[in-house]
Protein backbone atom coordinates (compact mmCIF):
# COMPACT_ATOMS: atom_id res chain seq x y z
CA UNK A 1 0.00 0.00 0.00
CA UNK A 2 2.65 2.60 0.79
CA UNK A 3 4.08 2.15 -2.72
CA UNK A 4 0.75 3.00 -4.27
CA UNK A 5 0.19 6.06 -2.08
CA UNK A 6 3.79 7.25 -2.48
CA UNK A 7 3.42 7.05 -6.25
CA UNK A 8 0.07 8.79 -6.35
CA UNK A 9 1.37 11.60 -4.21
CA UNK A 10 4.54 12.09 -6.27
CA UNK A 11 2.66 11.88 -9.57
CA UNK A 12 0.21 14.54 -8.42
CA UNK A 13 3.08 16.90 -7.61
CA UNK A 14 5.12 16.46 -10.79
CA UNK A 15 4.64 19.02 -13.57
CA UNK A 16 3.25 17.38 -16.71
CA UNK A 17 6.48 17.90 -18.68
CA UNK A 18 8.45 15.80 -16.18
CA UNK A 19 8.64 12.02 -16.69
CA UNK A 20 8.92 9.76 -13.66
CA UNK A 21 11.31 6.82 -13.74
CA UNK A 22 10.55 4.46 -10.84
CA UNK A 23 13.98 3.24 -9.71
CA UNK A 24 13.35 -0.33 -8.61
CA UNK A 25 16.91 -1.68 -8.16
CA UNK A 26 17.21 -4.30 -5.38
CA UNK A 27 13.39 -4.40 -4.98
CA UNK A 28 11.39 -7.61 -5.52
CA UNK A 29 9.04 -8.04 -8.48
CA UNK A 30 6.06 -7.86 -6.10
CA UNK A 31 6.95 -4.29 -5.24
CA UNK A 32 7.34 -3.38 -8.90
CA UNK A 33 3.97 -4.98 -9.66
CA UNK A 34 2.37 -2.83 -7.03
CA UNK A 35 3.70 0.25 -8.82
CA UNK A 36 2.64 -1.25 -12.16
CA UNK A 37 -0.91 -1.76 -10.95
CA UNK A 38 -0.97 1.93 -9.99
CA UNK A 39 -0.20 2.79 -13.59
CA UNK A 40 3.60 3.14 -13.52
CA UNK A 41 5.16 1.89 -16.77
CA UNK A 42 8.74 3.21 -16.66
CA UNK A 43 11.18 1.40 -14.39
CA UNK A 44 14.88 2.10 -13.88
CA UNK A 45 17.48 -0.50 -12.91
CA UNK A 46 21.22 -0.16 -12.47
CA UNK A 47 22.32 -3.77 -13.03
CA UNK A 48 21.79 -5.37 -16.40
CA UNK A 49 21.22 -8.91 -15.11
CA UNK A 50 18.62 -7.77 -12.61
CA UNK A 51 16.83 -5.78 -15.30
CA UNK A 52 16.84 -8.78 -17.67
CA UNK A 53 15.35 -11.02 -14.95
CA UNK A 54 12.62 -8.54 -14.11
CA UNK A 55 11.89 -7.91 -17.79
CA UNK A 56 11.31 -11.64 -18.27
CA UNK A 57 8.92 -11.87 -15.33
CA UNK A 58 6.90 -8.73 -15.86
CA UNK A 59 4.33 -7.38 -18.37
CA UNK A 60 5.72 -6.45 -21.75
CA UNK A 61 4.34 -2.92 -21.89
CA UNK A 62 6.94 -1.77 -19.37
CA UNK A 63 9.68 0.56 -20.56
CA UNK A 64 13.00 -0.44 -19.01
CA UNK A 65 15.62 2.23 -18.39
CA UNK A 66 19.22 1.35 -17.60
CA UNK A 67 20.36 4.06 -15.22
CA UNK A 68 23.61 2.53 -13.94
CA UNK A 69 27.11 2.41 -15.22
CA UNK A 70 27.14 0.02 -18.20
CA UNK A 71 29.77 -2.63 -18.79
CA UNK A 72 30.32 -2.99 -22.51
CA UNK A 73 30.35 -6.79 -22.48
CA UNK A 74 26.83 -6.87 -21.03
CA UNK A 75 25.09 -4.55 -23.49
CA UNK A 76 24.08 -7.60 -25.56
CA UNK A 77 21.81 -8.92 -22.81
CA UNK A 78 19.53 -5.87 -22.82
CA UNK A 79 19.81 -4.79 -26.47
CA UNK A 80 16.58 -6.49 -27.52
CA UNK A 81 14.35 -4.56 -25.14
CA UNK A 82 15.98 -1.64 -23.28
CA UNK A 83 14.08 1.58 -23.87
CA UNK A 84 16.62 4.18 -22.71
CA UNK A 85 20.22 3.96 -21.50
CA UNK A 86 20.97 6.92 -19.23
CA UNK A 87 24.65 6.44 -18.46
CA UNK A 88 26.51 6.60 -21.77
CA UNK A 89 29.87 8.17 -21.09
CA UNK A 90 32.20 7.06 -23.89
CA UNK A 91 32.38 6.56 -27.62
CA UNK A 92 33.47 2.95 -27.06
CA UNK A 93 30.27 2.21 -25.18
CA UNK A 94 28.23 3.96 -27.84
CA UNK A 95 29.89 1.82 -30.52
CA UNK A 96 28.95 -1.35 -28.67
CA UNK A 97 25.34 -0.23 -28.13
CA UNK A 98 25.10 0.59 -31.83
CA UNK A 99 26.48 -2.83 -32.78
CA UNK A 100 24.07 -4.73 -30.54
CA UNK A 101 21.10 -2.58 -31.57
CA UNK A 102 21.88 -3.32 -35.21
CA UNK A 103 21.68 -7.06 -34.52
CA UNK A 104 18.14 -6.55 -33.30
CA UNK A 105 17.29 -4.05 -36.04
CA UNK A 106 16.46 -1.45 -33.43
CA UNK A 107 17.45 2.09 -32.64
CA UNK A 108 18.37 2.37 -28.96
CA UNK A 109 17.79 5.70 -27.27
CA UNK A 110 20.67 6.94 -25.13
CA UNK A 111 21.50 9.85 -22.85
CA UNK A 112 25.03 11.13 -22.52
CA UNK A 113 26.01 11.23 -18.87
CA UNK A 114 27.74 14.50 -18.03
CA UNK A 115 29.91 14.73 -14.94
CA UNK A 116 28.54 17.58 -12.85
CA UNK A 117 29.42 16.41 -9.33
CA UNK A 118 32.68 17.12 -7.55
CA UNK A 119 32.99 13.54 -6.37
CA UNK A 120 35.36 11.25 -8.23
CA UNK A 121 32.98 8.32 -7.88
CA UNK A 122 30.38 9.78 -10.23
CA UNK A 123 30.89 8.94 -13.88
CA UNK A 124 30.40 11.12 -16.89
CA UNK A 125 31.86 13.03 -19.80
CA UNK A 126 32.85 16.66 -19.82
CA UNK A 127 30.59 19.03 -21.73
CA UNK A 128 33.42 19.52 -24.17
CA UNK A 129 33.78 15.79 -24.85
CA UNK A 130 30.04 15.57 -25.48
CA UNK A 131 30.27 18.44 -27.99
CA UNK A 132 33.17 16.79 -29.76
CA UNK A 133 31.47 13.42 -29.90
CA UNK A 134 28.19 14.75 -31.30
CA UNK A 135 30.02 16.79 -33.93
CA UNK A 136 32.25 13.94 -35.08
CA UNK A 137 31.99 12.19 -38.45
CA UNK A 138 32.17 8.86 -36.67
CA UNK A 139 29.04 9.67 -34.68
CA UNK A 140 27.09 10.17 -37.89
CA UNK A 141 27.86 6.59 -38.91
CA UNK A 142 26.13 5.15 -35.83
CA UNK A 143 22.72 4.48 -37.33
CA UNK A 144 21.28 2.34 -34.55
CA UNK A 145 21.56 4.73 -31.65
CA UNK A 146 19.79 8.01 -30.97
CA UNK A 147 21.13 10.50 -28.45
CA UNK A 148 17.96 11.98 -27.03
CA UNK A 149 19.32 13.97 -24.12
CA UNK A 150 21.65 14.26 -21.16
CA UNK A 151 21.84 12.76 -17.68
CA UNK A 152 23.64 13.94 -14.57
CA UNK A 153 23.98 13.25 -10.87
CA UNK A 154 24.62 16.01 -8.38
CA UNK A 155 27.04 15.69 -5.47
CA UNK A 156 25.80 13.93 -2.35
CA UNK A 157 25.79 16.97 -0.11
CA UNK A 158 23.52 19.10 2.07
CA UNK A 159 24.81 22.19 0.29
CA UNK A 160 21.78 23.23 -1.77
CA UNK A 161 23.67 26.04 -3.48
CA UNK A 162 26.20 23.57 -4.79
CA UNK A 163 23.54 21.16 -6.02
CA UNK A 164 21.73 24.01 -7.75
CA UNK A 165 24.96 25.04 -9.44
CA UNK A 166 25.58 21.49 -10.67
CA UNK A 167 22.05 21.09 -12.04
CA UNK A 168 22.32 24.48 -13.72
CA UNK A 169 25.56 23.40 -15.34
CA UNK A 170 23.78 20.40 -16.85
CA UNK A 171 20.90 22.54 -18.07
CA UNK A 172 23.31 25.02 -19.68
CA UNK A 173 25.24 22.19 -21.32
CA UNK A 174 21.97 20.83 -22.67
CA UNK A 175 20.92 24.21 -24.07
CA UNK A 176 24.22 24.74 -25.78
CA UNK A 177 24.30 21.21 -27.28
CA UNK A 178 20.70 21.52 -28.44
CA UNK A 179 21.66 24.43 -30.69
CA UNK A 180 23.50 22.02 -32.94
CA UNK A 181 21.59 18.84 -32.00
CA UNK A 182 17.87 19.62 -32.09
CA UNK A 183 16.96 15.99 -31.38
CA UNK A 184 18.01 16.37 -27.73
CA UNK A 185 14.84 16.42 -25.64
CA UNK A 186 15.52 14.91 -22.22
CA UNK A 187 17.35 16.23 -19.18
CA UNK A 188 17.49 13.34 -16.70
CA UNK A 189 18.35 14.83 -13.34
CA UNK A 190 16.93 14.56 -9.84
CA UNK A 191 16.65 11.71 -7.34
CA UNK A 192 14.56 11.29 -4.18
CA UNK A 193 16.65 13.76 -2.19
CA UNK A 194 16.91 16.55 -4.73
CA UNK A 195 14.25 16.26 -7.44
CA UNK A 196 12.20 19.40 -6.60
CA UNK A 197 15.37 21.44 -7.03
CA UNK A 198 16.25 19.53 -10.22
CA UNK A 199 12.84 20.35 -11.69
CA UNK A 200 13.31 24.00 -10.77
CA UNK A 201 16.61 23.88 -12.66
CA UNK A 202 15.09 22.40 -15.82
CA UNK A 203 14.86 18.63 -15.36
CA UNK A 204 12.43 16.80 -17.65
CA UNK A 205 12.97 13.32 -16.17
CA UNK A 206 13.43 12.37 -12.52
CA UNK A 207 14.73 9.04 -11.24
CA UNK A 208 13.08 8.21 -7.93
CA UNK A 209 13.73 5.07 -5.90
CA UNK A 210 13.48 5.33 -2.13
CA UNK A 211 10.69 7.91 -2.15
CA UNK A 212 8.51 5.36 -3.98
CA UNK A 213 9.71 1.96 -2.73
CA UNK A 214 11.25 2.89 0.62
CA UNK A 215 14.88 2.59 1.67
CA UNK A 216 17.03 -0.03 -0.04
CA UNK A 217 18.68 -2.74 1.98
CA UNK A 218 22.03 -3.63 0.46
CA UNK A 219 23.01 -5.88 3.34
CA UNK A 220 21.00 -8.91 2.21
C1 LIG B 1 19.64 4.55 -7.21
C2 LIG B 1 19.61 5.64 -8.22
C3 LIG B 1 18.60 6.60 -8.24
C4 LIG B 1 17.48 6.66 -7.22
O5 LIG B 1 17.95 7.03 -5.96
P6 LIG B 1 16.93 7.43 -4.78
O7 LIG B 1 17.75 8.31 -3.92
O8 LIG B 1 16.54 6.16 -4.11
O9 LIG B 1 15.78 8.12 -5.40
C10 LIG B 1 18.62 7.56 -9.24
N11 LIG B 1 19.59 7.58 -10.18
C12 LIG B 1 20.57 6.66 -10.21
C13 LIG B 1 21.60 6.75 -11.27
C14 LIG B 1 20.63 5.67 -9.23
O15 LIG B 1 21.62 4.78 -9.27
Sign of CA dihedral 210, 214, 217, 220: negative
Q: What is the pLDDT of residue 219?
A: 59
Atom of ligand 1 nearest to the CA of 21: 10
Say if CB 58 and CB 22 are below 8 A apart.
no
Contact 22, 40 (CB under 8 A): yes
Contacts of 27 (CB under 8 A, 6+ apart): 213, 216
Is 46's C-beta closer than 6 angstroms to any atom of ligand 1?
yes
Q: What's the 191 CA to ligand 1 centre distance in angstroms?
A: 6
For residue 145, with 0-12 CB atoms within 10 Å meaning exposed, 13-18 middle and 19 or more buried, which class applies? buried
Which atom from ligand 1 is nearest to the alpha carbon of 151? 13
d(CA 98, CA 108): 8
Residue 174 and residue 152: Cα distance in Å, rounded? 11
Q: How far apart are CA 87 and CA 70, in angstroms?
A: 7
Query: What pLDDT shows up at residue 123?
Result: 85
22 lines ligand 1 (CB under 6 A): no
Alpha carbon of 192 to ligand 1 centroid (Å)? 7
User: Domain segments of the chain: what residues?
Assistant: 3-213
pLDDT value of position 62? 98
Kindly report, residue by residue over 25-63, the tens digit of the pLDDT: 999 999 999 999 999 999 999 999 999 999 999 999 999
Contact 10, 29 (CB under 8 A): no
What does the alpha-carbon distance between residue 51 and residue 25 come to, in Å, rounded to a whole number? 8
- What pLDDT, in 10s, does the model give residues 83-103? 999 999 999 999 999 999 999
Candidate from 21, 35, 44 with most ligand 1 atoms within 8 A of CB, to mutate: 44
pLDDT for 216 equals: 87
Question: Which is nearest to 177 in space by CA: 140, 133, 142, 143?
Answer: 133
Q: In the chain, which ranges are continuous DSSP H helix?
A: 2-13, 29-37, 48-57, 75-78, 91-103, 127-135, 137-140, 160-180, 195-200, 210-213
Adjacent-strand bridge partners of 84: 65, 109
- What per-residue confidence (pLDDT) applies to 170? 98
The CATH number that domain 3-213 falls under is 3.20.20.10
Q: Whose CA is nearest to atom 7 of ligand 1?
A: 192
Residue 137 CB neighbour total at 10 angstroms:
6
Q: Nearest 5°: CA angle at 143, between 142 and 149?
A: 75
Q: Whose CA is nearest to atom 4 of ligand 1?
A: 209
Over the chain (220 residues), the average pLDDT of each successive run of 10 is: 92 97 97 97 98 98 97 98 97 98 98 91 90 97 98 94 97 97 97 97 98 82
Amino acid 118: pLDDT: 85
Amino acid sequence: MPIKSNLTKIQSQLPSHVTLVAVSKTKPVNDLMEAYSSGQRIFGENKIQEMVDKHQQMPKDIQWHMIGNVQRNKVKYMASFVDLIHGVDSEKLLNEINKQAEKHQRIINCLLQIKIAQEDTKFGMTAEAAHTLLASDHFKTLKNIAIVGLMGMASFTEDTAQIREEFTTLKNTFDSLKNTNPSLEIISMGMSGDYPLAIECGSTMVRLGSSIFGARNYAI
